[in-house]
């Protein structure tokens, strides 16, 4: 069976232009009502429930179906496992299982590369930060303030809100140190 998928992402084609292009292939078109990358229930339902072996899914651009390289690889893997073809109209490309296995593998390699670059940059940033003498993690609280907060609490003259206001020690921190 042939399906089309559109959503209001207007990088290349408006929603109406997407609809016109896909209607030349199929009238069975699933429309997502928003452009957000979260809660794409129509796409999830289409990919997970409707598409079966030898079906063809039509989109105008890859950015319509996926929001990142990683997301695209996940969708292509699912389509490949279901033996579903993806036809990208504006690229005039039919991504078929087996035939385009190298494309999908290259996409996986690019995704891994992007992930490695992020990890590397994070590690380098942390190393530079510590080399500059800065400490990682949450800043330590002032122990004098903590002692003050405990004394105020033990005196029973102050409410927890007053203690927090005067010492800037939260209830949770106070209780945690009272238990010690």
Report pLDDT digits (tens) over 80-95. 889 999 999 988 888 8
pLDDT at residue 100 is higher than 80: no
CA distances from 43 to 7, 12, 68 (A): 9, 20, 15
Rounded average pLDDT over 147-160: 91
Rounded Cα distance, 27 and 35, in Å: 21
Tokens 């504006």: give the residue.
90
Cα-Cα-Cα-Cα dihedral sign, residues 71, 57, 12, 41: negative
Which residues, in sequence order, are CB contacts of 47 under 8 Å at separation 6+? 75, 78, 79
In which band, very low, low, confident or very high, does the pLDDT at 17 lie, cut at 50, 70 and 90?
A: very high
Give CATH for domain 2-105. 3.40.50.1390
Averaged confidence pLDDT in the chain: 87
Rounded distance between C-alpha atoms, residue 91 and residue 58, angstroms: 11
Domain boundaries, the chain: 2-105, 143-178
User: For residue 172, is pLDDT > 70?
Assistant: yes
Residue 1 banded pLDDT, cuts 50, 70, 90: very high
Q: pLDDT at residue 142 above 70?
A: no
Both tokens assigned to 152: 């105020």
pLDDT in tens, 63-82: 889 888 888 888 988 998 89
- What pTM, to 2 d.p., does this model score? 0.63
Considering the chain, what percentage of its residues have pLDDT values greater than 70?
Answer: 95
Of all residues in the chain, what percent are helix, strand and coil, respectively (each to 5)? Answer: 55, 10, 35
């Amino acid at each position: 069976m042939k399906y089309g998928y559109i959503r209001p992402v207007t990088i290349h084609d408006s929603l109406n232009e997407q609809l016109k292009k896909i209607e030349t292939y199929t009238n069975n078109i699933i429309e997502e009502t928003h452009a957000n990358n979260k809660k794409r229930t129509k796409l999830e339902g289409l990919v997970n429930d409707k598409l079966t072996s030898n079906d063809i899914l039509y989109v105008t651009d890859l950015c319509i179906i996926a929001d990142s390289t990683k997301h695209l690889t996940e969708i292509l893997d699912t389509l490949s496992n279901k033996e579903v073809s993806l036809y990208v109209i504006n690229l005039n490309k039919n991504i078929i299982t087996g035939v385009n296995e190298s494309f999908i593998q290259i996409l996986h390699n690019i995704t891994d590369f992007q992930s490695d670059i992020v990890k590397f940059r994070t590690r380098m940033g942390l190393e530079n930060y510590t080399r500059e003498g800065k400490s990682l993690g949450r800043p330590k609280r002032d122990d004098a303030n903590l002692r003050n907060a405990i004394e105020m609490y033990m005196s029973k003259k102050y409410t927890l809100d007053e203690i927090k206001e005067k010492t800037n020690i939260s209830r949770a921190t106070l209780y945690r140190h009272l238990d010690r």
